[in-house]
Chain A
Amino acid sequence: MSIKIGEIPYKERIQKGIKDDFMRQAVSSAQGRFRTGRLTQAEELGNWEDWRNLGEEIRTHTLENLDYYLQQLSEQVSRRGGHVFFAETAEEANQYVKEIILKKQAKKVVKAKSMVTEEIGLNKALEEVGAEVVESDLGEWILQLDEDPPSHIVTPALHKNKQQIRETFAKKKGYTGSDTPEELAAFAREQLRQDFLAADVGVTGCNFAIAESGSITLVTNEGNAEMVTALPDTVITVMGMERIVPTWEEMEVLVSLLTRAAVGQKLTSYITALTGARLDEEIDGPEEFHLVVVDNGRSKILGTEFQSALHCIRCAACINACPVYRHIGGHAYNSIYPGPIGAVITPLLEGYDDHKELPYASTLCAACTEACPVKIPLHEHLIRHRQIIVEKEKKAPTAEKLMMKGFAAWASNPSIYNMSAKMAKPALGPWTKDGMIENGPGPLKAWTEVRDFYAPQGQSFRSWFKQRQKDGESK
């Protein structure tokens, strides 16, 4: 798997999302709960804007000095007995991890949820060298068994219902119990506990690396990242190069913003800071620790007008606020990063060719920008993407190009314009109901599929104006 999650065209993905009633209801209810949680937390603090300003300042300073802080981090990890590998590409990162697996002759790898390893397709790479890879976050485990991609950054299996999960467990793991969430989770706990205890290698992502001490911070509710880092003798952490803070003090601020903005919690059940390899006489934790710092296209964003997109702390608050995500769901974005932030960063990381529709999957209502705890101007980035797509990349959708060409020809010929303006009302009469068109013909179809269109008025502005002047003169 890579950032792109399939080959189905954009319009079909949207239709699939719109027709999936369970998914739409689940997304809508999840959005409601996450948003209420975030707003309640913000209100309780009373100075949420100060928190957001601080979050933005920290991210800006860190990204402006990214080379310095990554150097400090690598020195400290190394001093604390860890190995650091800087990977320019997904292939380099996967190759490095594969070599460790081969050297350790590892049979079983347990993983804690990690977007960046999804992005580089690490699971597939590890399976190529004969390792069994087990995702240990409950949502990720469900998706792995079902060979389905995630549809949300925080709750990846949001699009699945409990009957589907029960069927997957029954088919893949011989589960015979009911579809109550408690029983399903208890089964997962029992299965995964065996995997944790038997694993040779643990792989994690990284919420925040702390430069001053060389620590890796992991934020979870389930405790799976703790299992993955405490039990196997070798632990490999893969981090996107931007996921770093200067000191513990900034880590604390960003973790507080993350858990509040993501799920409305003050802190999640587990926040863990892992620093290097285990010390003498310690039993838990890795005797061998590796940190893989991944670029994979991120450096192309540095120093550009889109740099603030790298400030993202993966809380999904923008996704939970987005009316478009609400209707089409995560899979429609065809990226492991869905929603507004996905629409901003996916084309930056992978180019416009496969993702030119994403910046259009937005109403530009700015709810995402307002929700972002580190103040990334998401809707402004989306507008800029659209400008680039049209002006520089010349990749405006064909229908839009044809329409604009047609409009120019039509509007620049007064007689045609006047005649069609007059004709519009009677011509559209059969599709008009109470002054609105709900299911228009021809080029109107695409518009009226998603919203109603005001039927043309009988009188044009020009003829109304002429009439008014005449009336005035006669008075």
Chain B
Amino acid sequence: MSIQNREAFLDKLASRLGRERRTSGVERPQWSVTPQDEVFKGMSQDELVDVLEKHCKVIHTTFKRTDRDGLAKVLNETLEAYEGKLIITSKDARYQEYGVTDFFEEQKEKLDVHVWDSALGKENQKIAERADVGIVFSDITLAESGTVTSFNTKDNGRSISLLPRTFIAIIPKSTLVPRMTQAARHIHQAQANGEDVPSYVSFITGPSNSADIEMNLIVGVHGPVKATYIVVD
């Protein structure tokens, strides 16, 4: 793909910096301090779940915790609370593995579930726009900030967590890390090993909100108006 006007532009920067152009050989220095590694250092997964639960109150997100056997029941309760009839989910083997696919099958009289299907093209977005609930599995969960990380792919459209009125994230306990540091490091290392980052990585922390009108917090602006996290042991 095209790159225009680069050489003159960068030559000028080098000249302003009083040296020759640097096109190779620049290494990141060893930073003198790394405070980001100290946050919640050495905490167990259960302790991180506690941190996440506490922070959910700050980010206006309903927190629920269950095990695989209890997931269907908790999901059902959440969908009822959200009056969720039309549901859109990513296409992910974990729905089968965690028994969610079976639950949807049992509820098919009551629920209209659309699984993201790249073959359908833009129709997926139209369904997401009408949907009451969008559901994704978290890939990496940041305890400190209450953040779900979603690596978007052809099977996990960006619209799922964005367009429906409400949002549910299923969080396998094993995905919890202390903070964004660990997620960023994971992506950096993959990149350094020659693995491309997904075209879109979403860090989602609760429902959308704004304080633009007289500094009043309004939950639910362009994205979902409500969010629930379900941590599965």
A residues near B, CB below 8 A?
A: 26, 29-30, 33, 45, 47, 50-51, 53-54, 57-58, 61, 64-71, 74-75, 77-88, 92, 96, 136-139, 142, 155-158, 161-162, 165, 181-182, 184-185, 188-189, 192-193, 196-197, 212-213, 215, 221-224, 226-227, 229-231, 241, 246-253, 255-256, 263, 266-285, 293, 295, 299-300, 302-303
Contact = CB atoms under 8 A, between A and B. Distances in A.
Nearest to A307: B17
A293 B208 contact: no
15 contacts: A66-B17, A68-B24, A83-B3, A181-B214, A181-B216, A193-B129, A213-B187, A226-B202, A266-B55, A269-B59, A274-B200, A275-B196, A283-B121, A285-B200, A303-B17
Contact of A185 (B33, B201, B221): B221
Contacts of A156: 212
A471 B181 CA distance: 74
A80 B3 CA distance: 12
A81 B196 CA distance: 13
Interface residues of B, number: 89
A284 B223 contact: no
Given A61-B29, A299-B16, A165 B199 contact: no
Given A138-B210, A221-B210, A78 B2 contact: yes
Given A78-B3, A267-B145, A270-B205, A227 B212 contact: no
Contacts of B98: none
Interface string B105-130: 00000000000101001101100010
B6 A269 contact: no
Contact of A227 (B2, B162, B215): B162
A279 B199 contact: yes
Contacts of B116: 283
Contact of A197 (B3, B14, B39, B129): B129
A139 B222 CA distance: 13
A50 B33 contact: yes
A86 B6 contact: yes
B212 A161 contact: no
A229 B8 CA distance: 30
Given A267-B147, A269-B205, A270-B205, A252 B184 contact: yes
Interface string B68-109: 000000000000000000000000000000000000000000
Those 9 A-B pairs whose CB atoms lie nearest each other, nearest first:
A223-B223, A252-B184, A139-B212, A86-B9, A266-B145, A281-B154, A284-B158, A223-B208, A50-B35
A246 B28 contact: yes
Nearest to A81: B1
Contact of A182 (B198, B202, B218): B218
A229 B1 CA distance: 19
A45 B214 CA distance: 29
B172 interface: no
B232 interface: no
B3 A84 contact: yes
B157 interface: yes
Given A86-B8, A185-B220, A269-B205, 20 more contacts: A67-B13, A67-B22, A69-B26, A77-B1, A78-B1, A85-B2, A88-B12, A189-B222, A213-B196, A213-B197, A215-B201, A223-B208, A249-B188, A252-B36, A267-B142, A275-B199, A275-B201, A278-B199, A284-B157, A295-B9
B199 A248 contact: no
A229 to B, nearest CB: 8
B1 A83 contact: yes
Contacts of B154: 279-283
A65 B55 contact: no
A139 B124 CA distance: 30
Given A70-B10, A230-B162, A222 B35 contact: no
Nearest to B182: A252
Contacts of B146: 266
B188 A74 contact: no
Nearest to B224: A223
A280 B155 CA distance: 11
B116 to A, nearest CB: 8
